């Protein structure tokens, strides 16, 4: 068994421990598929603890529809300033309207669209502008 050092762009095979290329999906030695190629999707509490930006689309939609006027979904999605704006203007019912629209939008879009739009902020820019 060789004992060479693992380089920057290499990793150990999960199955046999052989040093293989970091981008390899299949170990050339044992033929086993590597598990860490794609990031594991998390939602809800997991993302809070790991700090990942991934948020639950259904939770955001429910918050927007039920508590949208208070900006609850904005706080949940990591936009506290927008949330405070919503809460300040709650008596005008304008935030409730925005919450309704955003909630319906969250429900109708796909998970991928949801996470990509929220991570680059275009959705919030669009709806957050007043």
Report the interface residues with Zn ion, using CB under 5 A.
13, 15-16, 18, 27, 29-30
Alpha-carbon distance 68 to 57, whole Å?
A: 14
Backbone angles phi and psi of 19, in degrees to 5: -75, 120
To Zn ion, the closest distance from the beta carbon of 14 in angstroms equals: 7
Smallest gap from residue 23 Cβ to Zn ion (A):
15
Contact present, 54 and 43 (Cβ < 8 Å): yes
Q: Cβ closer to Zn ion: 1 or 45? A: 1
C-alpha 30/C-alpha 17 separation (Å) is 10
Least distance (Å) between residue 39 CB and Zn ion: 21
- Residue closer to Zn ion (CB basis): 29 or 41: 29
């Amino acid at each position: 068994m060789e004992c060479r050092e693992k380089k920057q762009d290499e990793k150990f095979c999960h199955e046999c421990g052989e040093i293989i290329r970091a981008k390899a999906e299949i170990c050339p030695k044992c033929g086993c598929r590597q598990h860490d190629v794609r990031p594991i999707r998390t939602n809800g509490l997991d993302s809070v603890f790991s700090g990942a930006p991934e948020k639950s689309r259904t939770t955001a939609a429910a918050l927007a529809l039920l508590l949208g006027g208070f900006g609850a979904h904005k706080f949940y999605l990591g936009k506290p300033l927008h949330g405070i704006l919503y809460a300040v203007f709650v008596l005008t019912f304008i935030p409730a309207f925005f919450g309704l629209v955003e909630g319906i939008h969250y429900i109708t879009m796909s998970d991928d669209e949801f996470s990509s739009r929220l991570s680059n902020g275009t959705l919030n820019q669009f709806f957050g502008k007043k």
